[in-house]
């Protein structure tokens, strides 16, 4: 039965990663779960237990991605990228650092997928428009994609891995942030240092700023843009308050997504004009661009078949053509100044949200439960018991690197549950148990950067870049991934152990 459980897991994971003939990941995972049920690897009684683990996490993730896609369609991320480009004042070192900090901020609020799959194309097109060579652009693109995962630690909503772990171990939003925000600071610093050591010599010293457009010109829907700031602030307060009143975090995130969708769609009570009038004025290119990609409803990526790939304007439009773009200047392109009253195709964004992640989570985690039922996680738990005798530092390093290794070869979503189940079954308690819980999160957040298959978001990210003319082969990716990830992971895990000791 153990061999059967492993075979079902391997075949299911292969189907999820390769998606033959566009087969959705949710259907692949449910198929694997059906086989596991039919063979007795898992039981019907396991379904409610798995659903209790995944429902809040997956619905929260879907809501956060919808919010990020709506704001991307409104021009939020292009606006932020233009601000960053102006703040650096032509200094590439400063620009590199600011882009990484921007990626870390986006990952914290909009999940790692939002940073990797939405912000990266924005940065790429801006750099190409500024005349950067492909080699110099590659440095920024790799940095943005890398930091999206390595700095997705601070909040529960920053990564689906975080949500699953916090739900499984009943960690409140406030407690998770209290532990992981300081750890994330180390992850950001380590990522910035390693990325500059690796890529610093490949970028020019300066870049032109005279033709950068004003950030305001990137805003396609001002009402949604402004509402987004308010909603993000309310969401952060709501996340912290949810645990105190017993409200699931998905209810908070879902409410924010609903209100922002109502604003973007001009639904009652936010409609500025009759619905028919607004619909008739809608532009042909509203909403997210269709890049003709296959259905890829990713578990970690969680992105729709046609994800928003950067600003809703071309990269060249981030650079003004002959307009006075000095601060305070009002001379901008008339075509960029005219905004449609309803510039976002909300219904399309909602349709293309990562709904298959719900099916994937239920199906894949049932398959993982088969591994637990047949004793695999019990064996891991006994190994953790041995590690626990060596204290929190060793427990953090071993658990974190173990989780990273599993994530790099079997994807971080099943890995985080395998690790959580083993930690739950282990006899470790107190500081060691807490170190293992959070180290499992760190390993599953950072470990996927070692290989492309560690995170399905990375596979989709590579495909998006390939369609934009920037091909990154698996060999190239892994050479960079190993060199960058291992030291950043080690420093972050040591920071975790140190912070837990200080905060104890």
Compute CA distances 28 → 25, 50, 78, 274, whole Å. 5, 17, 35, 43
pLDDT band per the 50, 70, 90 thresholds, residue 299: very low
The two three-digit tokens of residue 30, written as one number:
């449910």
As a whole number of angstroms, the distance between CA 483 and CA 191 comes to 11
Q: Looking at the predicted structure, is the pLDDT value of residue 108 above 90?
A: yes
The pLDDT of residue 392: 93
> CA 372, 377, 378: angle at the middle one, nearest 5?
100
Q: Which residue has the higher pLDDT, 3 or 318?
A: 3
Q: State the average pLDDT over residues 364-379.
A: 84
129 CB burial (10 A radius; 0-12, 13-18, 19+): middle
Q: Which residues contact 258 (CB under 8 A, 6 or more apart)?
A: none
Q: State the average pLDDT over residues 397-418.
A: 91
Q: Looking at the predicted structure, is the pLDDT value of residue 339 above 70?
A: no
β-bridge mates for residue 206, sequence order: 91
Q: State the average pLDDT over residues 248-263.
A: 94
Q: State the average pLDDT over residues 405-409.
A: 91
As a whole number of angstroms, the distance between CA 93 and CA 204 comes to 9
As a whole number of angstroms, the distance between CA 434 and CA 237 comes to 25
Q: Looking at the predicted structure, is the pLDDT value of residue 345 above 80?
A: yes
Q: Which contacts qualify for 101-104: CB closer than 8 Å, 24 or more apart?
A: 101/188, 103/143, 103/144, 103/147, 103/148, 103/151, 104/147, 104/151, 104/184, 104/188, 104/191
The pLDDT of residue 403: 95
Under a CB-based contact definition with an 8 Å cutoff, are residues 39 and 374 in contact?
A: no
How far, in whole angstroms, is CA 256 from its chain's centroid?
18
DSSP state of 203: S
The per-residue pLDDT for range 271-291, each reduced to its tens digit, is 755 444 444 444 434 333 333
pLDDT band per the 50, 70, 90 thresholds, residue 473: confident
Q: State the average pLDDT over residues 250-261.
A: 94
Q: State the average pLDDT over residues 354-376.
A: 85
Under a CB-based contact definition with an 8 Å cutoff, are residues 77 and 310 in contact?
A: yes
As a whole number of angstroms, the distance between CA 121 and CA 168 comes to 34
The pLDDT of residue 331: 30
180 CB burial (10 A radius; 0-12, 13-18, 19+): buried
As a whole number of angstroms, the distance between CA 104 and CA 382 comes to 36
As a whole number of angstroms, the distance between CA 217 and CA 320 comes to 10
- Count of beta carbons in the 10 Å neighbourhood of residue 454: 28
The per-residue pLDDT for range 444-459, each reduced to its tens digit, is 999 999 998 888 778 7
Mean pLDDT of the chain: 82
272 CB burial (10 A radius; 0-12, 13-18, 19+): exposed
Query: Range with the lowest mean pLDDT among 102-111, 243-252, 321-330?
Result: 321-330
pLDDT band per the 50, 70, 90 thresholds, residue 342: low
pLDDT band per the 50, 70, 90 thresholds, residue 341: low
Q: What share of the chain is helix, strand, coil (3-state, %, to 5)?
A: 75, 0, 25
Q: Looking at the predicted structure, is the pLDDT value of residue 48 above 60?
A: yes
Query: Range with the lowest mean pLDDT among 262-266, 335-339, 365-369?
Result: 335-339
Under a CB-based contact definition with an 8 Å cutoff, are residues 454 and 412 in contact?
A: yes
The pLDDT of residue 289: 35
How many Cα neighbours within 13 Å face the side chain of 201? 2
As a whole number of angstroms, the distance between CA 127 and CA 41 comes to 51
Q: Within the chain, how many helices (H) and strands (E) appear?
A: 21, 0
pLDDT band per the 50, 70, 90 thresholds, residue 503: confident
Helix (H), strand (E), coil (C) string for 426-491 = CCCCHHHHHHHHHHHHHHHHHHHHCCHHHCHHHHHHHHHHHHCCCCCCHHHHHHHHHHHHHHHHHH
Most confidently modeled range among 215-224, 266-275, 335-344, 374-383: 215-224
Q: What is the dihedral of CA 452, 457, 460, 466, to 10 degrees?
A: -60
As a whole number of angstroms, the distance between CA 144 and CA 121 comes to 10
170 CB burial (10 A radius; 0-12, 13-18, 19+): exposed
% pLDDT > 90, the chain: 42
Q: State the average pLDDT over residues 22-32.
A: 87
């Amino acid at each position: 039965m153990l061999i059967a459980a492993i075979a079902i897991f391997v075949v299911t994971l292969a189907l999820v990663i390769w998606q033959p003939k566009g087969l959705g990941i949710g259907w692949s995972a449910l198929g694997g779960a059906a086989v596991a049920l039919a063979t007795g690897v898992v039981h019907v009684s396991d379904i409610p237990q798995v659903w209790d683990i995944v429902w809040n996490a997956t619905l929260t993730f879907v809501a956060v991605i919808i919010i990020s896609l709506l704001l991307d369609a409104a021009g939020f991320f292009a606006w932020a990228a233009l601000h960053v480009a102006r703040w650096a004042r032509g200094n590439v070192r400063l620009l590199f650092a600011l882009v990484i900090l921007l990626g870390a901020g986006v990952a914290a609020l909009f999940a790692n997928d939002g940073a990797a799959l939405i912000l990266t194309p924005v940065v790429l097109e801006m750099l190409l428009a500024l005349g950067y060579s492909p080699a110099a652009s590659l440095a920024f693109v790799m940095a943005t994609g890398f930091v999206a995962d390595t700095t997705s630690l601070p909040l529960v909503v920053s990564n689906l891995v975080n949500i699953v772990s916090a739900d499984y171990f009943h960690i409140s939003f406030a407690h998770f942030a209290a532990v992981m925000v300081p750890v994330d600071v180390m992850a950001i610093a380590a990522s910035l240092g390693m990325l500059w050591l690796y890529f610093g010599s490949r970028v020019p010293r300066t870049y032109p700023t005279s033709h950068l457009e004003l950030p305001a010109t990137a805003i396609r829907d001002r009402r949604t843009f402004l509402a987004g700031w308010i909603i993000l602030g309310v969401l952060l307060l709501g996340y912290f308050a949810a645990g105190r009143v017993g409200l699931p975090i998905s209810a908070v995130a879902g409410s924010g997504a609903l209100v922002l969708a109502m604003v973007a769609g001009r639904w009652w009570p936010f409609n500025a004009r009759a619905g028919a009038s607004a619909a008739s004025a809608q532009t042909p290119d509203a909403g997210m661009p269709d890049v003709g990609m296959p259905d890829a409803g990713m578990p970690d990526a969680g992105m729709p078949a046609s994800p928003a790939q950067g600003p809703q304007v071309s990269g060249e439009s981030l650079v003004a053509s002959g307009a006075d773009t000095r601060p305070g200047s009002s001379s901008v392109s008339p075509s960029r100044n005219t905004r449609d009253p309803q510039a976002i195709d909300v219904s399309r964004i909602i349709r293309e949200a990562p709904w298959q992640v719900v099916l994937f989570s239920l199906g894949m985690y049932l398959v993982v439960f088969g591994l637990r039922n047949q004793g695999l996680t019990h064996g891991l738990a006994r190994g953790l018991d041995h590690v626990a005798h060596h204290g929190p530092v060793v427990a953090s390093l071993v658990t974190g690197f173990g989780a990273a290794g599993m994530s790099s070869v079997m994807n971080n979503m099943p890995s985080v549950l395998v690790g959580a189940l083993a930690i739950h079954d282990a006899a470790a308690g107190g500081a060691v148990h807490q170190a293992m819980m959070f180290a499992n999160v760190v390993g599953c957040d950072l470990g996927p950067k070692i290989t492309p298959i560690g995170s399905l978001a990375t596979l989709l990210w590579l495909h998006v870049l390939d369609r934009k003319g920037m091909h990154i082969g698996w060999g190239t990716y892994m050479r960079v991934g190993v060199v960058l990830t291992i030291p950043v992971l080690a420093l972050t895990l040591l920071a975790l152990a140190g912070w837990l000791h200080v905060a104890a």
